[in-house]
Structure formats: structure tokens, C-alpha cells
Amino acid sequence: MSRILINDGSASTLVEKLIVAESTADRMKGLLGRSGLAADTGMLLRPCASIHMWFMRFPIDAAFLDANMVVLKVSRNLRPWALAYAPRKTACVLETAVGVLDPITVGDALTLEPATAD
């Protein structure tokens, strides 16, 4: 189901189409097998404490969030085969196309809202 992810600090939309991966199989697959990610699309891995870029074909940005969706760390331009270490208390990870997470910083609170029908 698509969701809209909003940065509470600026009330701006970060991701129009959010894929929420909550099952073990969906989290394990993540973005593997894709050739890219549109700027309006992201994936929220929940629960998730860390990520890797093994077998990925394209770079991404990743935000490590706590249980309240507060940004703990932002890793930008993660290249294929890289590792991204999560800070303690990471509960979920938001993955987006490179540059999408440029407006957010550590301490920003994010909110999930239902996508609106056009």
C-alpha cells in the first residue's frame, strides 16, 4: 500500500509512494532485483536494525529511524556492495533514491500518512 512520508519539521513530502516491507521475506528482498528507484518512491523496512548493499545495482540514501520514526542517522549515496551501520535503537530503515533525503537531518521526526487518491 502506498503511503506518504512527511517530514514533521517542514511539513514537506519526502516520498509519495512508500513501500512498507514488514514481512521477513519482503525485508530480506528489499530493493534487490530492481534496476533503480524513482525519486517519488521509497521503501520502509520495519523492523530493521541494519542494511547492506550486496548485490544491489544502484546507489541509495538510507535513514535509520527509531521506534517513533525519529531520524538517528542518514547515510547518503550508499554504493553497491557497501555496508551501512545502524546506530543503537534503530527500529526501521527508509531507503530512497539518492538525493531524496537531502532535506532531513538527525533529530527530524517523520510521519506516515495514508496516500490520497487522485
pLDDT for the residue numbered 78: 94
Split at pLDDT 50, 70, 90, the class of 28 is low
Q: pLDDT digit string (tens) for 54-90? A: 888 899 999 999 999 999 999 999 999 998 889 999 9
Report CA 110 to chain centroid distance, whole Å: 11
**Predicted pLDDT of residue 21:** 82
pLDDT-based confidence at 1, cuts 50/70/90? Answer: very low
Per DSSP bridges, beta strands 51-52 and 83-84 are antiparallel
The DSSP bridge partners found for residue 44 are 20, 94
Dump pLDDT digits (tens) for 83-118.
Answer: 888 999 999 999 999 999 999 999 999 998 887 665
Q: If you search the block for the grid coordinates 527500529, which residue do you land on?
A: 91
Query: Coil, helix or strand for 27?
Result: helix
What is the arithmetic mean of pLDDT over 15-41? 78
Report CA torsion sign: 67, 68, 71, 76. positive
Which residues make beta-bridge pairs with 20? 44
Asked whether the bond before 47 is cis by omega within 30 degrees of 0, the reply is yes
Computed over every residue of the chain, the mean pLDDT equals 86
The pLDDT of residue 92 is 95
pTM for the full predicted model: 0.88
With beta carbons less than 8 A apart as the criterion, state whether 49 and 86 touch. Answer: yes
Beta strand segments in 34-90, E:
41-45, 51-52, 60-65, 71-78, 83-84
CATH of domain 3-114: 2.60.120.1140
